[in-house]
Structure 1
């Protein structure tokens, strides 16, 4: 069986709507050159689509026509190295998904500790951002929370009162171990994030150890987030104004 036949057979067994790279085609690196020609033929046949250089997907068919993969799926090759997560989507794309803004950005930010991720998906530009801690599948959702707190003041179209309620709800749903880890990661973020997290967690504190957050702050420094005690009752206790 030649390379083209191997690739077509492998793709034939793939689930529709999932992205893949040459590494997922069961071929050796010595066969990548032949794979380039084979994938070009499959693109012309309409069996696969190109996302970006070396990244493809098998289109999902519906009665309305072809469906593109979800944003997260399109970016999956950049978020993972093999099966290891090395990045996550952040910025306004994340905050839109969280319900903090209705605006849709034509720029997607990907945070990563180990690599600089920069590419284009059609008209959408993907820009890199350095993460504050190492990323894995068990912690990226906690970093999403901290990123939202970090950028809270600059999230477009944000209703601060509703936004704080959303963040409180998301944090309250974490179990005690997750809350402890969230606090640990917050200590790696800028002081305003630690203050904001402490203020939110202290509203309905059920014994979480937030003392480390308070001790990490300079009591002579205030954090201008445009939030007062009417919106967040504990704001002034955490030097937030």
Structure 2
């Protein structure tokens, strides 16, 4: 192949890349007949960034510099799946139940992968769960907080007392449904007992 053809093949691949998108190596095979050589060239020129083995990002820039990939896009490309839920223990703080710690941790509930994986500058703790909702809401967060209560540094008695006081701030029908679907045994006992006391 002549150098002109090699350059036009690389140009064709580059023109198909969308800024801000995360790609797997296999995604690029459609547009390239020499994907590993092209990847090396695109990484060298800064058109792509390597996030982890087989995972690449076409950086988007703003007035502040290069933007990181969106978490959802990153996890979707890594898992090759739409079925996942991203959450951080920091989100528990939004419930106003006495959790105030900031955690440098992002969990991904999913059906495929388990373990801590580093992608770019971020680490994700992938946890296989049989069931989880499609999106976060405060009722699921409460169930998840109780599921993970023993791993939190805050005073557990204070949190439980605050839950008892503030239980009516939640959708109780949804909470009962969620605790039966997603709660561990201890969480089910706690929440169902509190709901029983309200009736």
Give the TM-score of the pair, scaled to structure 1: 0.57
Q: 1:101 touches 1:156 (CA, 8 Å); kept in 2?
A: no
Cα offset, 1:50, TM superposition = 1.6
Cα offset, 1:3, TM superposition = 5.5
Distance 1:111 1:60, change over 3 A: same
Cα offset, 1:144, TM superposition = 5.0
Greater relative contact order, per chain length (Cα 8 Å cut-off, separation 6+): 2
Counterparts of 1:200-239 in structure 2 under 5 Å?
A: 201=195
Cα offset, 1:96, TM superposition = 0.8
Q: Name the residue aligned to 1:138.
A: 134
Give the TM-score of the pair, scaled to structure 2: 0.67
Gaps of 5+ in 2: 94-98
Q: Greater share of helix residues, 1 or 2?
A: 2
Q: 1:3 touches 1:35 (CA, 8 Å); kept in 2?
A: no
In structure 2, how many angstroms separate the alpha carbons of the residues matched to 1:123 and 1:162?
A: 38
Give aligned pairs, total.
184
Q: Name the residue aligned to 1:96.
A: 90
In structure 2, how many angstroms separate the alpha carbons of the residues matched to 1:76 and 1:40?
A: 24
Cα offset, 1:203, TM superposition = 6.9
Residue 85 of structure 2 aligns to a residue in which SS?
Answer: strand
Cα offset, 1:118, TM superposition = 4.1
Cα offset, 1:185, TM superposition = 0.8
In structure 2, how many angstroms separate the alpha carbons of the residues matched to 1:65 and 1:8?
A: 21
Q: 1:109 touches 1:128 (CA, 8 Å); kept in 2?
A: yes
Distance 1:71 1:81, change over 3 A: closer
Distance 1:72 1:98, change over 3 A: farther
1:156 pairs with 2:159: no
The partner residue of 1:114 within 92, 112, 121 is: 112
Q: Name the residue aligned to 2:181.
A: 185
